[in-house]
A = this chain, B = another copy of it.
Amino acid sequence: MSNAKNPDPEQSPSQPTGADRRIPEAVIRRLSLYSRVLQVLERQGIEKISSTELGERLGFNSAQVRKDLAYFGQFGVPGFGYPVQDLRNNIKRILGTDREIRVALIGVGHLGTALLSYDGFRKQGFLISVAFDLFENLEGVGAMRVPIFHINQLERRLEEFGVEFVMLAVNPEAAQGIADRLTATGISAILNFVPVRLRVPSKVRVHDVDLAIEMESLSFYLK
């Protein structure tokens, strides 16, 4: 979940910066959904789709689809619809996923190891190129042949590996300190798996994935 989807979005410590503020985050998230549908269509050899059909596959109406895409330009062809491959390429370009993005994983505990072993990220263009941990005995080569360094080497290795994007899976006590160091290095995107609300400057974007909240809040509805 992103900060904008925290229990209290208006109180979230991080906000999108300058130009991004024009485009609601919900639109960005829907682009990712559109892209996924278009990928399926592309695989099925389907060449065009209307805004109605695209919306129907996601439970949105056609006006929503058209409005979302209009933020970024004119992609539809009147009387034809959207060319599937073209639209998908455009969305990938808009999202910035038309290239490989180098990711660092910080914290190689249980969850970190799981993330390191998960190959779904690579398929989306996110390459975990380097990992860090506090424990020296973890140094070496981890799952998926990702090199693991001691956290002492964070700043140096982030630069060496050209990291743009960090997944944070350290223990809660360490999280804010690491976030501060990341901010100082100029990292601008953190996917935070730690159940802690990070305080970061507005230029840094944090999305939280909090499995504990998901589980516990679901549990409430069991009764």
Contact = CB atoms under 8 A, between A and B. Distances in A.
Interface of A: 1-2, 5, 7-8, 11-13, 16-17, 20, 25-33, 35-36, 40, 58-60, 64, 94-97, 101, 110-111, 113-115, 117-121, 124, 126, 164-165, 172, 188-191, 195, 197, 205, 207, 209, 211-223
Nearest to A126: B215
A110 B221 CA distance: 28
A123 to B, nearest CB: 9
Given A110-B117, A222-B164, A26 B2 contact: no
Given A33-B7, A59-B8, A59-B11, A220 B1 contact: no
Contacts of A222: 96, 101, 164-165, 188-189
A20 B94 CA distance: 39
B124 A120 contact: no
Q: How many copies does the complex hold?
A: 2
Contact of A165 (B13, B120, B218): B218
Contacts of A220: 20, 28, 31, 94-96
Contacts of A1: 1, 5, 214
B120 A212 contact: yes
A217 B124 contact: no
Given A221-B189, A223-B96, A110 B101 contact: no
Contacts of A29: 7, 213, 217
22 contacts: A2-B218, A5-B5, A8-B64, A29-B213, A32-B217, A33-B213, A36-B195, A95-B219, A96-B219, A96-B220, A96-B223, A97-B216, A97-B219, A110-B118, A114-B114, A114-B117, A124-B215, A188-B222, A191-B214, A191-B218, A205-B218, A207-B214
